Chain A
């Protein structure tokens, strides 16, 4: 038996997973309209490659990757493109982003799908296929998977020793990975072998929290059937044990150094749903066009659905029949999820769960009391930080000290807020401090650039002055020398006036070009969307500042 390791801290929130695992995964009906955002992954948004009026087939590329960290977007079904415009997407900013609207024709007609044998393809080609299949991390980070499979160019002699398949699913309520493992274990194992092959990893460890015995059994069966030497390990249920760094610690005893990547210690980690989609992409030629999503909480029938990306969340949630006292919705889990202002949003690749929230199920936090330094937060912090000190620094806006005490090692898992007996929204303070620090760094970079530009300009003016003086002196000298000779008609454009005019014109052109090239401040010439975003961010900061100012928070009665 492989020894497991423990990480510091962690919490045991009520799992609330049983409710949504009673029924098998149900394929959600084809919606009347799909809204497919072009930014469903970390990095650059995909570039639309279809136009309004185009007929597309299921699985057809409709958005291609642009830039190094980017991914592609595909039509989830066959139909007609009716719009390519900004629409609301599930994003913390709540701002619209470019989306492709697709009206399905009901035929669900596939493109020609081409399965490949991963063993015969060069690794570059494999990665390209994953990139063009839109495969991104489905555990929540939606980071393009092909990049995680790139050879370590800077360290060519570094190898990946261990590939970890993350089936921990530590957040309460979410069961989409659990159900996927129960029902489609063979595909996951096949995908794991593809990833192992591409990385040339020595071993594959599949980590699943021990509150999912059915998934563990299914995965063990699938591994045994495949004959592959993978290990399925039941890890203790402890939030946030599904955080990649913490699962790596539990399974290997290794800690990913702060600021480094798992590959730096010879480990790479993929979520089970990502692994599954890798298998679908390579062995079946299916790009990522659907995902399994848990609909749970205050609903009549909690369960998991396999839904097309772009499915309106309200149609999805309606399948589970939310109870009448449902007040709000959360995308993701109750620990790290995101509140949704509306359900008129499409399902995206990151959408693992939608929780219907009632005030009975998620009672509002009581008013915050002062910190009594009980250090329960430090006892549960999986990053081994001192949250009560970071809170103190963030509140005092002592950002330098917050950074010195490793604020950026915080993974925002929320364990500290969960246990705080004073109900201080600790994570909000850390988010505030982080965003302030980032904003200040940006400002500093901008100021440095402006200073450089200014200094360069001064230098250039000085140099031009000098050159002009030299030119004039040379000219005078030449004129003086030419005087004794017969006054021949000088060529027209050599006349002093003309030359001066030309110079003035040139200088003007130059100045205009300079002005065009150098935008004095990055906040002018912004689109209304960007302005709205700035306003929103400012409002959020103001709110957090307010939080920071009052010792005790009391919601207005």
Chain B
């Protein structure tokens, strides 16, 4: 007979449903991605999903863990989707496959599987890819209407799986650097912000198309907040810190530093605020800790974007702050009922 002890009731909720809701919340962003950049992203999401589930199953088998309940928890799928959304969709198929396999096998299972990884697995995958394969990681699709040529879905599939482009089409004709990257490069060439932002790749707030995808992720994030899957602490602290830092620089020197809104709607800021930094496993558990963690990530994101070697900073900011999590948790222990001081000890994971 199954164990029978109090409490005898539980909230009808489980890890699988939570992860599923997070996946659902990504849909508006993905839909806008398809609208503005074509269906290639769906291919990389599919590749990431298959790789994630296969690697998860293999690792569970190797670790002698039950496969079915863990495959059903949707956590591997989420890691795969987040990685797919972080890298250029029009890339050789092995790029997302290698990245996803690394996320699941190394960043997740070698650390002990679900619940035990110190680092955000998707961001580890991103870091590995951008360091190991920097060239394909810069070939971002041009939004509709801006490229010299536009590939059909079949053309895109042929490039992803066979590496073949239609005759007469070069990769440069269909891809571009990201708006953040372009901004950085051109600023180095001493062009003024105003001049740069007049380029057709820029839209109302940030990059043409990509700013709309950010709106999609913001919408999904608000759904997660409304359903209490995530708390307000991380997105507010992250976007707040990014806004304030960017705002201070912008106020001091508007010719060289773009507006805070540009930063909000560029790169991985929105998906990072609501989907990446909110990963419970690799983030802090205390509310105060979440504020410090996310604010630190916001500050680091800005510093990397403005002064670092990479165009976007969300991934490295996340990983750097992941390192600090045990310390943050230790120093943000809340006061206990009926006590004046918080508990001592080392908090978090021993």
- Show the binding face of A for B, using Cβ within 8 Å: 7-8, 11, 13-14, 172, 245, 249, 255-260, 328, 330, 332, 334-339, 357, 362, 364-367, 369-375, 378-379, 382-386, 388-389, 392-393, 396, 398, 401, 404-406, 409, 414, 417-423, 425, 427-428, 543, 551-552, 554-555
- Interface contact A385-B336, CB-CB below 8 Å: yes
- Interface contact B7-A357, CB-CB below 8 Å: no
- Interface contact B339-A364, CB-CB below 8 Å: no
Set B66, B281, B336, B348: member contacting A406, Cβ < 8 A: B336
Tell whether B190 is near chain A: CB-to-CB under 8 Å: no
Residues of B within 8 A of A7 (CB): 337
- Interface contact B338-A257, CB-CB below 8 Å: yes
- Interface contact A335-B6, CB-CB below 8 Å: yes
Instruction: Give bound CA distance, A373 to B118, whole Å.
Output: 11
Instruction: Give bound CA distance, A530 to B61, whole Å.
Output: 46
Instruction: Give bound CA distance, A428 to B3, whole Å.
Output: 11
Residues of A within 8 A of B115 (CB): 369-373, 422
Set B9, B114, B338, B350: member contacting A392, Cβ < 8 A: B350
- Interface contact B285-A383, CB-CB below 8 Å: no
Which residues of chain B from 1 to 58 have any CB-CB distance to chain A below 8 Å in the complex? 2-11, 13-15, 17-18
11 chain-A/chain-B pairs, Cβ below 8 angstroms: A245-B338, A255-B337, A258-B336, A335-B9, A369-B14, A370-B115, A384-B335, A398-B350, A409-B336, A417-B10, A418-B10
Tell whether B200 is near chain A: CB-to-CB under 8 Å: no
Tell whether B349 is near chain A: CB-to-CB under 8 Å: yes
Residues of A within 8 A of B2 (CB): 364-365, 555
Set A369, A374, A378, A543: member contacting B73, Cβ < 8 A: A369
Closest to A257 in B: B338
- Interface contact B347-A389, CB-CB below 8 Å: yes
* Smallest beta-carbon distance B328→chain A, Å: 13
Residues of A within 8 A of B281 (CB): 372-373
Other contacts beyond A372-B114, A418-B7: 6, CB < 8 A: A335-B9, A339-B8, A386-B286, A404-B345, A421-B15, A554-B69
- Interface contact A335-B343, CB-CB below 8 Å: no
Most chain-B Cβ atoms within 10 A of its Cβ — which of A7, A365, A554? A365
Instruction: Give bound CA distance, A396 to B346, whole Å.
Output: 15
Set B6, B285, B339: member contacting A389, Cβ < 8 A: B285
Residues of B within 8 A of A427 (CB): 5-7
Which residues of chain B from 248 to 305 have any CB-CB distance to chain A below 8 Å in the complex? 280-281, 283, 285-286
Per-residue CB contact flags for chain B residues 318-350 toward chain A (1 = under 8 Å, else 0) read 000000000000000111111100011111111
Closest to A366 in B: B14
Instruction: Give bound CA distance, A307 to B269, whole Å.
Output: 65
Set A334, A372, A409, A419: member contacting B8, Cβ < 8 A: A334
Per-residue CB contact flags for chain B residues 61-76 toward chain A (1 = under 8 Å, else 0) read 0000110011001010
- Interface contact A370-B116, CB-CB below 8 Å: yes
- Interface contact B336-A554, CB-CB below 8 Å: no
Tell whether B92 is near chain A: CB-to-CB under 8 Å: no
Known: A366-B14, A423-B10. A339 touches B4 (CB 8 A): yes
- Interface contact A374-B6, CB-CB below 8 Å: no
- Interface contact A362-B280, CB-CB below 8 Å: no
Residues of B within 8 A of A414 (CB): 6-7
Known: A258-B338, A392-B350. A421 touches B14 (CB 8 A): yes
Interface size on B, residues (CB 8 A): 46
The interface residues of chain A, by DSSP majority, are classed as loop
Residues of B within 8 A of A11 (CB): 11
Tell whether B136 is near chain A: CB-to-CB under 8 Å: no
Tell whether B247 is near chain A: CB-to-CB under 8 Å: no
- Interface contact A334-B6, CB-CB below 8 Å: yes
Tell whether B113 is near chain A: CB-to-CB under 8 Å: yes
- Interface contact A418-B11, CB-CB below 8 Å: yes
The interface residues of chain B, by DSSP majority, are classed as loop
- Interface contact B345-A405, CB-CB below 8 Å: yes
Known: A257-B339, A386-B285, A386-B347. A365 touches B10 (CB 8 A): yes
Instruction: Give bound CA distance, A378 to B336, whole Å.
Output: 11
Closest to B340 in A: A257
Instruction: Give bound CA distance, A258 to B338, whole Å.
Output: 5
Residues of B within 8 A of A420 (CB): 10
- Interface contact A425-B4, CB-CB below 8 Å: no
Residues of B within 8 A of A364 (CB): 2, 4
* Smallest beta-carbon distance B225→chain A, Å: 14
Most chain-A Cβ atoms within 10 A of its Cβ — which of B5, B8, B11, B337? B8
- Interface contact A334-B7, CB-CB below 8 Å: yes
Instruction: Give bound CA distance, A414 to B11, whole Å.
Output: 12
Instruction: Give bound CA distance, A262 to B10, whole Å.
Output: 31
* Smallest beta-carbon distance B180→chain A, Å: 31
- Interface contact A419-B6, CB-CB below 8 Å: no
Known: A386-B347, A418-B11, A555-B2. A370 touches B338 (CB 8 A): no
Instruction: Give bound CA distance, A375 to B289, whole Å.
Output: 12
- Interface contact A406-B14, CB-CB below 8 Å: no
- Interface contact B333-A409, CB-CB below 8 Å: no
- Interface contact A386-B337, CB-CB below 8 Å: no
Closest to B72 in A: A369
- Interface contact B338-A409, CB-CB below 8 Å: yes
Closest to A246 in B: B337
Most chain-B Cβ atoms within 10 A of its Cβ — which of A386, A396, A418? A386
Instruction: Give bound CA distance, A428 to B7, whole Å.
Output: 9
Residues of A within 8 A of B8 (CB): 330, 334-335, 337, 339, 357, 362
Set A367, A372, A385: member contacting B69, Cβ < 8 A: A367
- Interface contact B286-A378, CB-CB below 8 Å: yes
Instruction: Give bound CA distance, A142 to B113, whole Å.
Output: 45
Instruction: Give bound CA distance, A418 to B12, whole Å.
Output: 9
* Smallest beta-carbon distance A173→chain B, Å: 9
Known: A7-B337, A389-B285, A406-B336. A373 touches B280 (CB 8 A): yes
* Smallest beta-carbon distance B255→chain A, Å: 44
- Interface contact A384-B350, CB-CB below 8 Å: no
Set A258, A365, A555: member contacting B339, Cβ < 8 A: A258
- Interface contact B114-A8, CB-CB below 8 Å: no
Known: A392-B350, A406-B339. A552 touches B4 (CB 8 A): no
Instruction: Give bound CA distance, A244 to B350, whole Å.
Output: 34
* Smallest beta-carbon distance B145→chain A, Å: 42
- Interface contact B350-A418, CB-CB below 8 Å: no
Set A259, A328, A338, A419: member contacting B11, Cβ < 8 A: A419
Residues of A within 8 A of B231 (CB): 379
Residues of A within 8 A of B9 (CB): 13-14, 172, 334-335, 362, 418
Known: A339-B4, A389-B347. A422 touches B15 (CB 8 A): yes
Name the 10 nearest CB pairs between A and B, nearest first. A414-B7, A370-B115, A258-B338, A375-B285, A374-B280, A364-B2, A334-B8, A404-B345, A405-B343, A335-B7
Most chain-B Cβ atoms within 10 A of its Cβ — which of A328, A330, A421, A423? A421
Known: A386-B347, A421-B18. A370 touches B113 (CB 8 A): yes
- Interface contact B6-A421, CB-CB below 8 Å: no
* Smallest beta-carbon distance B141→chain A, Å: 34
